Amino acid sequence: MPVLQFLLGTLATFFLLVGLMNEMDGLILLVALAGAFINLLISTLSARRDLYAGLYAALAFGGAALLMSLLSLGDVIMSANARPLLFWLLVAMVAVVPGMAGVWGVFMLARR
């Protein structure tokens, strides 16, 4: 299941890049909302089976953006430009946080 999450996250990151390159604000917003909803849904369903599976699913969806933020460390080191790193970290947070919220919701419901 995390492989599917990673592929969906990579696809969402690709569409985000397409929207950024073509200055299509509607596509960027649509991809962000759809990605957050898909990550929330799949991570919640995975967490109902096993909490660790839900955590892995949430992290796998943001894996492509986390990889891009690691690659942008070169900009910080070589040219002291932190903007790409901050951008990709923000994209990764937007990709991971809804999934973590879904896992947290399942955990809180299971505690009752």
DSSP state of 12: H
Domain span including residue 88: 2-111
Buried b (16+ CB within 10 A) or exposed e, 59-96: bbbbbbbbbbbeebeeeeeeeeeeebbeebbebbebbb
Alpha carbons 46 and 107: distance in angstroms, whole number: 12
Number of domains in the chain: 1
In this prediction the pTM is 0.77
For 24, the enclosing helix (H) or strand (E) is none
Q: What percent of the chain has pLDDT over 90?
A: 5
Question: pLDDT averaged over the chain?
Answer: 84
Give the tens place of pLDDT for each residue, 6-60: 888 888 888 877 877 788 878 878 888 888 888 888 889 889 988 888 888 888 8
Q: Give residues with Cβ within 8 angstroms of 20, minimum separation 6.
A: 28
